[in-house]
A and B are shown apart, each in its own frame.
Chain A
Amino acid sequence: MKNILRTLLVGAFCILSTSQLMAQGLTLSGTVTDKSTGEPLPAVNIFIPQLSRGAVTDVDGNYAILLPAGSYALRITSVGFKRLNTEVTVQGSNVTFNIELEPDVVGLDQVVVLGFGETSRRNVTGAITSVSGSDIEFSPVNTVENAIQGRVSGVFIQQNNGKLGQGMQVRVRGSSSVSASNQPLYVIDGVPVIMDDFSISAATTNPLAQFNFNDVESIQILKDASAAAIYGSRAANGVVLITTKSGRPGRTQFNYSFQRGSSEPTGFVDMMNSKQYVNYMYQAAKNGDAFAGSTWRVGEIEWVFDTYGLGTDWRSCLEAVHGGPDGACEVDTDWQAEAFQDASMFSHDLSASGGNDATRFFVSGHFSDQDGILIKDRFQRANVRLNLDHKATDRIRLGMNITAGRSFHQRLSTDNAFSTPIQLIAQMPISPLYYPGEEETPANLNNDTYYYNGVIHKHFSKYHVTTMRSTGTSYLAYNILPSLELRSEVSADVMTGYDDQWYGPETAVGFASAGQGGYASVAWQQSVSYGTAHYLNHNLNVGRNQTLATTAGFSYQYNDYNYAFTARSGFPNNSFKRLTSGANLLSGSTTGSEYSFLSYFARSNYSLNDRYLVSLSGRVDGSSRFGADNRYGFFPAASVGWIITEESFATPILPYVAFLKLRLSHGTTGNAGIGNFAHLGLWGGTSYGGQSGITPTQIPNKGLTWETTTQSDFGFDYGFLNNRITGEVDFYVKNTEDLLLNVQIPGTSGFTTSTQNVGKLENKGWEIVVNTFNLTGEFKWNSTFNISANRNKINDLDGQVLSGGLGMNRAIEGQPLGVFYGKEFAGVDEANGNALFNIYDKEGTGGTLTGTTTSYNLATDRVLGNPNPDFIGGFGNNFSYKGFDLDVLFQFVQGIDANISGHGRWSRGNGIFEDNSVTDQLKSWTPENPKTNVPQARYIVTNGNQISSRYIVDASYVRLKNVTLSYTVPRQFLRNTGLTKVRLYGTGINLLTFTDYPGWDPEMNSDFIAGNIGLGNDFYTAPQAKTITFGIDIGF
């Protein structure tokens, strides 16, 4: 494999060295400059179709062409600049012809960043989605993924919950793996960045939360194999390339921005009040006794009410049917309201950019402080950046991008903890928040609630996570020839996390109290990636109107991870929160790991007559994660493009169809997103009775190798009506094989799973993007619409069934990843209120319904729903008039199912538990109300609260994701103020959500069980934030 690559590399060099110069009399020469800055432009193509010949400008923007006298049409093209068609006449003597080019930020000539290079949108043959930094700048959301939600076709982005800084699910064209990672590779300014999750709880955190996305110039998402293959083994889930801003020569431009705002939940669940609760449960106790032929349940519920009401009067609100006066309850606590807080946020951004011909810079500083909507949730971010480019000589350029950031995060417990705020809804409304008759101070918070009172956590615990991150990359570029550049890069990405927790003796940690004197722990983690890449970029104009851009090189990346944890208990009092004051050492441990990738890559983009495009790329990756015999993988891809509108036969349609390009690509990418040593047989350490021991932890699998995804993409880019309507359409098929599967093996082996290359799955889909300029002129109206569909299907798992989530998600053959599987709820027996389940003559799908049963075990297991969406997309409109600008973005997710576990099985559980219930349970079966789908309430009797389709609901939604109204003060008012820009704006995030979802918010996935298979589960999962901010943006 390596030999193939070396051959390829040598081959690449062989075609780099030809250049033709022919003396033909006169010289046409000049300088090409950027119209907006006056800066000379290197590497601009000046092409003369009549002669099938052209030239490329040098580093000072100069060009020269020898040619016979005559009149010529010129076509001037440069990536990032609108192409220019012009004419020149050369007669008698040499002619100097200077050219100015206009930057193109949205059109066909916009820059599209590729791995290790860039091209123009016009020449792209792969499937790449771009987002401009200006689209997301100053968006008052937590992370960059939030900011691009709804703006990118084919990318499903889901935030787990409304807690800040939490893990995100980003799926580019569906999930391509069952057990290995499904997250894309993130590359910031050429550096594949660390995406380690430093959370020590089951809920993941987002490693990109430290990144200041206001520094972003552009984001490209490489979706198909052709675009992504240059990242080989880590590209099967797509690649997100983020490029940060750089300076432009000229006067130093400062920009300061400030915004301030507040957030609230997008939704609430309608829980019962005390009176509803007491009467519902009282009836449930009577029903339970009647059903079971017992007599103790009513006494039991009275005892429960007395105990957890702390002796307050609940009998006063018993209805007449239960022998009560039908008045009000003494206590009626709205526990849900206690979960939320007034959430404010503000941010400051200051940047400066500028430079001269030799040196350009961009510097920025950022500070933001955001409260979450849940009590105690808070996220602070401070970040600085310097991007520097310097031209040392005509041939040598160098530069550095460096950023350092710190985030301070007041975290919350996972959704599965009693202490997570949303679990407060399960408390009985008859339980007072404070001890009755006591002053309402934290010390008097009721600690005798049915479940632990999570409000106590607010006052007697801390969970502070401080993360420091520095990412830097330096490059040296040497122009061996004007068209041949050698580029060397070194990079480092250092991420350090400090997790500092303390729990006072008043609190409960897990199932037990923090104990006498409280409990505190500290976890320290550091992940360091070093990388280097060395490659050649060559641009060649070959004879007859052909261009060839070639990149070839190698890279190496090494990551080192270290972890330390220690915990103590027994602190003198609540003022002591540092471990040094704790009397008992409970735990102390360290561990670490490392991995490396060694890679060789190459790509050639060939263009003939500006209309026939061919791209070949490939990468050989070696990884420490596989055994010596299977270490290397080869990931090639090819694509072709045909710009039909460049053909002479297309001339008649040009008034209608200004641009039409067909694209076809095919290639292979890989996935190595598994544990670092999954191929080895491992033993770990343990201890018993103070003596050390060792235990087998992993079965060896020496043959373990890459998971590979082969993808074909057919698409076309179009521009109608003089490019008033533009966009692209893509169809793709992705087949993944040799899945890196956590294979379930018989427990009798002593193990339950083993990572093996087993199985196949596919993703098929389409994406449509339509951009329109509806109105131009003084009142402008642009729209952008995208819609994507992806169909995921597991083709082969060797008969394996893998489960995840809350017992309902499955990976099974013939079905999409993560389908909900289990018993099908058949509704309620009208005669007696029993929950019924369906019996089929076939498991899974198909077959016929043969009857119903009250016996859960006898019901048939069926596929019940799909947590993967049918369609996703966004619809944005931008209106501008004079200085006013209104941006409205809707985002939608359709055809997605969810499992409402927390407020389902427990708060829609027919009174089996003492948990408070949702008011829709008041419609439960009674002899007077036999036609209902809510089974009869029965205290301490199971009547339909088992996992079943009863709790599978549609979670589709349409959301008003972003509304920004801004006013930019006209320049004439700024004269003599020294200001160059004043922009006032207001932004609303998630202002409206249209959904039938019966929980807080349909965009959710419970944080402690979110995974590849664990999809679409709502377990006390906090709603998203609805945020409104106002800001000012000043340039000077």
Chain B
Amino acid sequence: MKKQTNLILALLIGVTFVGCDSLLELNPQASITDEIALENASNVQTALVGAYALMGGADTYGGSYIYLSEIFAAPGNEIYFNGTFIDPRDVNDKNIITTNAFVTRFWTTSYNVINRANNVLTALDKFGSDTARRDRVEAEARFLRGVAYYNLVQLFGKAYNDGSPTTNPGVPINLTPTTSVDAIVEAPRNSVSEVYAQVIADLTAAKTALGPTNGFYANTYVASAFLARVYLAMANYPLAAAEANRVIASGNYSLFANVASNFSRTANGSETIFAMQVTQTSGSNDMVVFHSPTPFGRADIQVLDPHLANYELADARRNLFIVTTRGRMTTKYHSTTGDSRNFNINVIRLAEMYLTRAEANFRITGSLVVGVGGVTPEADINMIRTRAGLLPAATVTLANILLERRNELIFEGVLFMDMKRNQIGTADRSGGTLAWNADRFTFPVPDRECNVNENLVQNPGYGDC
């Protein structure tokens, strides 16, 4: 009996010993917890880098924002998605279903960028007395957020010039980070003009606080360049011209002698205002997946003959194509030398600023007089024309300016906003035409968002949310 008692005792001691809760206290090894993630200035700074990383991801500027908006905007019988990925194929066909995975990921990833920026913006107190650094980090976070909202409202909202922007639904604005399950909200869509106001507020704050240089990160001129885009979309030509002029006048940037030098780059060049950085081990270039032929991509986005008709025969930009067994491709994302997957992706470059200034100056006066920057519209246009190996034009019309812009920037992510603001319709892959403000010429709110947010409304033509 004594033996038994001892044994039971020993066992109970064992239970007590093993019962120590510390055996269940384990921590992740490849992640850190939210309690320490933003505990000091250096961490907040790396969180900002994390926001840039996603902005350069495959579902935003590393790929889908640019190629989806381009193949959506372009007539399908001119720029033709010939791959078997049904989702981008439907985008090219202006026949998007609400469950389109590429469209869905563009939405969710953009908001992920915004959440990352919001996290940074709530942790600025960690910089303490280092106000210079704090202001810069704050400005960059607001820059990224502003750009993300601009991209979202472009594709999911009606254009600024389409009906009433104060009542047209844009996208939900969320300015606080999601740090707990309880903080998740089902936010309704803000109006198009509210989203534009947020974009301008963020970009203006960035422009004000940032300095003239900041490596490959955003600086004050990058913010201005984006503001020029935004004001152009809003048809606010004086401000568009002013912001574009500010970038040009800074002297920070200069046009390459050869337009082709803008592409297949592994580092920013003199013309680069903002580009997503891609290296062997960081960043992603999903443009090559669809634009580049073997060995790097699927060569799904074909350039059909009607597109070539836009270029004069002497135009250097007419040579930015390559004919493969999969049809004609742009070489903006492909090179026969080097690994195309490791090239940076241009987001905004100086040529666009000349084109924006030219167009805005022209539209302000409706004539070819000297405008903002002390130049005439044709002077700016001829900068671009002569660089492309063309003769300078003696006189230009608005149509000339717009065509120049289209030829210069095709496949670079501005075609959609240009067509919308200029009220130019498009065509599906069979050549069926769509008006510039057709229902099918706006992205649907992703089905998954409708399912989890009862305060959302769907865009017309896509059923109920």
The chain A residues found within 8 Å of chain B, CB to CB, are: 2, 6, 9-10, 13, 17, 291-294, 307, 448, 480-481, 484, 486, 508, 511-515, 534, 536, 553-554, 556, 558, 584-587, 591-596, 598, 600, 622-624, 628, 631, 676-677, 680-701, 744-752, 754, 756, 800-801, 803, 807, 856-858, 906, 913, 915, 940-942, 946
Contact = CB atoms under 8 A, between A and B. Distances in A.
A307 B462 CA distance: 39
B174 interface: yes
B178 A699 contact: yes
Contacts of A946: 97
Contacts of B34: 680-683, 696, 700
B23 A941 contact: no
Contacts of B115: 696, 749-751
Interface size on B, as a range, is: 35 or more
Contacts of B84: 906, 913, 915
B446 to A, nearest CB: 7
Contact of A536 (B11, B25, B289): B11
Contact of B4 (A480, A682, A683): A480
Contacts of B423: none
B313 interface: no
A511 B297 contact: yes
A512 B294 contact: yes
A826 B219 CA distance: 57
B31 interface: yes
B186 interface: yes
B116 A690 contact: no
Nearest to B30: A591
B40 to A, nearest CB: 12
Given A684-B31, A686-B53, A691-B49, A554 B18 contact: yes
B397 interface: no
A135 B266 CA distance: 64
B309 interface: no
Contacts of B448: 744, 747, 752, 803
B102 interface: no
A586 B97 contact: no
A681 B35 contact: yes
A596 B281 contact: no
A594 B26 contact: yes
Nearest to B109: A747
A307 B24 contact: no
A448 B280 contact: no
29 contacts: A2-B19, A508-B295, A513-B295, A556-B18, A587-B281, A596-B26, A598-B23, A622-B24, A631-B21, A677-B28, A681-B180, A682-B32, A683-B31, A684-B30, A684-B31, A688-B50, A688-B52, A694-B47, A696-B115, A697-B31, A698-B31, A744-B452, A746-B187, A747-B108, A748-B187, A749-B115, A750-B111, A857-B97, A857-B463
Contacts of A913: 84
B235 to A, nearest CB: 28
Interface string B274-310: 0001011111000011000011111000000000000
B330 interface: no
Interface in B179-224: 179-181, 183-187, 216
Given A513-B294, A688-B283, A683 B451 contact: no
A515 B295 contact: yes
A590 to B, nearest CB: 8
B23 A558 contact: yes
* Of listed B34, B93, B97, residue having the most chain A CB within 10 A: B34
A697 B37 CA distance: 11
Nearest to A288: B430
Contacts of A803: 448
A647 B463 CA distance: 68
B215 to A, nearest CB: 8
Contact of B53 (A592, A594, A682, A688): A688
B432 interface: yes
Most B CB atoms within 10 A — which of A600, A750, A800?
Answer: A750
Q: Which of B104, B430, B446, B463 has the most CB of A within 10 A?
A: B430
Contact of A596 (B24, B33, B37, B95): B24
Contact of A682 (B31, B181, B288): B31
Contacts of B15: 6, 9, 554, 600
A378 to B, nearest CB: 28
A748 B172 contact: yes
Given A512-B297, A691-B49, A680 B289 contact: no
A681 B33 contact: yes
A940 B8 contact: no
A795 B277 CA distance: 48
Contacts of A807: 99, 101
B56 A688 contact: yes
Given A688-B53, A688-B283, A682 B28 contact: yes
B430 A294 contact: yes
Contacts of A511: 289, 297-298
A938 to B, nearest CB: 10
B325 A307 contact: yes
Given A689-B279, A940-B429, A699 B325 contact: no
Nearest to A308: B325
Interface string B111-133: 11011101100000000000000
Interface string B41-53: 0010011111111
B162 interface: no
Interface in B157-186: 172, 174, 177-181, 183-186
A750 B28 contact: no
Contacts of A750: 111-112, 114-116, 118, 174, 177-178
A598 B288 CA distance: 51
B341 interface: yes
Given A683-B34, A756-B181, A748 B53 contact: no
A595 B47 CA distance: 28
Contacts of B174: 748-750
Given A688-B49, A689-B216, A691-B49, A800 B29 contact: no
Given A692-B49, A694-B47, A751-B178, A598 B24 contact: yes
A17 B297 CA distance: 76
Nearest to A938: B430
Contacts of A676: 26, 28
A327 B7 CA distance: 91
A17 B4 contact: yes
Contacts of A514: 295
B175 to A, nearest CB: 11
A695 B50 CA distance: 5
B251 interface: no
B294 A689 contact: no
Contacts of A801: 451
B28 A515 contact: no
Most buried by B among A553, A683, A745, A756: A683
A942 B76 CA distance: 14
Contacts of A307: 325
Given A591-B30, A941-B430, A745 B184 contact: yes
B54 interface: yes
Given A448-B325, A600-B15, A694-B37, A751 B295 contact: no
B53 A695 contact: yes
Given A694-B32, A800-B452, A801-B451, A856 B114 contact: no
Contacts of A512: 288-289, 294-297, 341
Nearest to A860: B463
Contacts of B296: 512-513, 515
B294 A508 contact: yes
A270 B52 CA distance: 51
Contacts of B280: 584-586
Given A690-B277, A745-B184, A807-B99, 15 more contacts: A293-B430, A481-B4, A512-B288, A512-B296, A596-B23, A680-B28, A687-B281, A693-B48, A694-B47, A744-B448, A745-B452, A747-B449, A749-B111, A803-B448, A940-B430
B453 interface: yes
